[in-house]
Amino acid sequence: MQRNGAPSGFGPLGAHVWKGDKMASNTQRPNVLLIMCDQMRGDCLGIDGHPDVKTPYLDTLAADGMLFENAYAACPSCIPARASLFTGKTPAGTGRVGYQDGVDWEYDHMLAQELRDGGYQTAVVGKMHVHPPRLGCGFEHMRLHDGYIGHYRKANLPYWMHQNVSDDYMRFLKNELGEFADVNGSGVENNSWIAHPWVYEERLHPTNWAVDESVRFLETRDRTRPFFLMTSFVRPHPPFDAPQTYFDLYRDMELREPAAGDWDNTEATERDGMVLDSIHGCRDAELRRQAMAGYYACITHMDHQIGRLITALENDETYHNTVIVFCSDHGEMLFDHGLFRKVLPYEGSTRIPFIVHVGKNVPRVAQSRARGTSESVVELMDLMPTLLDLCGIDVPEGVEGASLVGELTGAAPLDRAYLHGEHSRDAEQSNQWIVTPHDKYIWFTQTGVEQYFDLDADPRETVDLIGDPARAERIAELRSALVRELEGREEGYSVDGELVVGRTPAVVLEHPRGA
């Protein structure tokens, strides 16, 4: 087999890669640091133009690397998004087209497994959110914390599955503070818009712990092998509980108002806006402002801790030999259009931060020093083929994502006309969508409601143009693309070239594409 013009067993520059009993020197093969967070909007970066949130370390990483301005989570909730990242497949390919806990992860190929088998020492610190808990997924070293997940805190679970047993951070916190200490000590709910500063010492916050454990891995790693480290933060996913000093940064700031449009359902927000985790947001203006400040505080806190992690790479003298990726699993509506949380097809929920920084000593892209921005539509599934490509490891069969190395080098821009996104949930929220660098078409599967947004002119999706006669041809084109994507799916959404409303949505497909 040949790939990128090199014989099988050789990387892009001909450097020999791991083949059973042989291993390249660390100088020939890049280390990989994947920094992932949970529920961070794509626009919540200073370098992306956000007027309020401060992210100096991430801005620096992006300014010296490549910022993908149109990066998305094709199925914007924790489990399906992470399944796509780990497998390099679409939601239809993984079978995860909605959120459901307790379903076994059974995949032939996963990112860490491929890197481990290719000679890398693999480690994960922080959130995995896989099932069963502590499933290795190819990671040799694991220090886990998934946040507060109700499914794994039930009294009747098998003992070994309970978070008090399977979660390393929970054990750490109880060792520090006593058996009754818990991550929800501030009283804020883990999916709500309630905000309150962290009640324990700052050093005990899970954001700090993730970096402490990551630095410890870097210090004690196997130096005969390159490393793949995934540092995975739970924040800025609720609870909005950054340390007090970070709340203080935003306490008196006049924050930009959430996006409002001509299609907003203000009646739903008025009806449900006193329910702390309602998708229809919050009807109390002061509580909304507190939540936004708390969300931004969590982001800046994480950003500063990422600064510690990057400094550790510099002290380790591996910074320039490392590929660093920063991304989120999905976004957060944060009251745009009166909405809260994720799963919805709008930019706040689906668009994510996506930064790739290639160290100056990394082969293949070192000469071009991949810097700047990319307007191509990219997705979490693209990370697996990109990282394997950079590391000189063959991409396994069945991967649906695309390598972004051509984007990084400028040699071959990504040829993707559109991205298909979806999320199955309930009668109100189940949705399908098509997004391009310029526009977006949305179809709600249970109601038949359609929407169309011109993202070039209206990036905050304030004007729904679905009824504009001047857009009818373009809307029909995108609708046809969705029809093609859904052909043959078990739900029956697409029949005889038409979208079919009201078919029962599946959260986990019985027959994933390609299975």
Q: To the nearest whole percent, how much of the chain has pLDDT over 90?
A: 89
- Per-residue model confidence (pLDDT) at position 19: 37
Residue with tokens 């099988």: 8
Average pLDDT over residues 505-509: 97
What mean pLDDT do residues 101-126 have? 97
Q: Highest mean pLDDT: which of 410-419, 424-433, 457-466?
A: 457-466
Mean pLDDT of all residues belonging to the chain: 93
**pLDDT (average), residues 503-513:** 96
Burial state string for 275-311 with b = 16 or more CB within 10 A and e = fewer than 16: ebebbbbbbeeebbbbbbbbbbbbbbbbbbbbbebbe
Active site residue 330: no
31-419: in CATH 3.40.190.290 = no
Q: Among all chains, which residue has been given the structure tokens 């931004």? A: 296
**Which entry of 37, 44, 75, 78 is annotated as an active-site residue?**
78
Q: Which pLDDT score, from 0 to 100, does residue 279 have? A: 96
How far apart CA 187 and CA 131 sit, in angstroms, is 27
> What are the structure tokens assigned to 438, written together?
């310029």
What per-residue confidence (pLDDT) applies to 368? 65
Mean pLDDT of 261-276: 97
Confidence band, pLDDT 50/70/90 cuts, at residue 12: very low
Largest Cα span, the chain: 65
Q: What is the pLDDT of residues 170-179, one digit of tens each?
A: 999 999 999 9
∠ CA 485-488-493, rounded to 5°: 70
Report whether pLDDT(40) > 80. Answer: yes
Is-catalytic flag, 129? yes
Among 235, 189, 461, 478, CA closest to 348: 461
Q: Which of 471, 478, 472, 469 is CA-nearest to residue 499? A: 478
Per-residue pLDDT for 378 more than 60?
yes
User: Residue 323: which of 223, 415, 392 has the closest Cα?
Assistant: 392
Q: Which pLDDT band, with edges at 50, 70 and 90, does 14 fall under? A: very low
At residue 360, the pLDDT reads 92
Percent of residues, the chain, with pLDDT higher than 70: 94
**Residue 464 in this model has a pLDDT that exceeds 70:** yes
239 alpha-carbon distance from chain centroid: 17
Is the confidence at residue 10, as pLDDT, over 70? no
Q: How confident is the model at residue 129 (pLDDT cuts 50, 70, 90)?
A: very high
Kindly state the average pLDDT of the residues 28-39: 96
* Cα torsion through 167, 172, 173, 178, rounded to 10: 110
Q: Which of 129, 330, 337, 420 is catalytic?
A: 129
Of the two residues 24 and 447, the one the predictor is more confident about is 447
pLDDT band at 11 (very low <50, low <70, confident <90, very high): very low
Instruction: Give the pLDDT band of residue 17 (cuts 50, 70, 90).
Output: very low
Residue 21 pLDDT exceeds 80: no
The pLDDT score that the predictor gives to residue 185 is 85
Distances (CA, A) of 203 to 142, 199, 243, 314: 20, 11, 9, 22
Bridge partners (DSSP) of residue 232 are 36, 126
Mean pLDDT of 305-331: 97
What SS3 state is found at 318?
A: coil
DSSP 8-state symbol, 374:
E
* Angle at 33 (CA atoms; ends 355, 353), nearest 5 degrees: 20
- pLDDT at position 370, please? 77
Give residue 410's pLDDT: 87
CA distance 323 to 364: 12
At a CB cut-off of 8 Å and minimum separation 6, what does 277 contact? 189, 191, 192, 193, 340, 341
User: Which DSSP symbol is given to 22?
Assistant: -
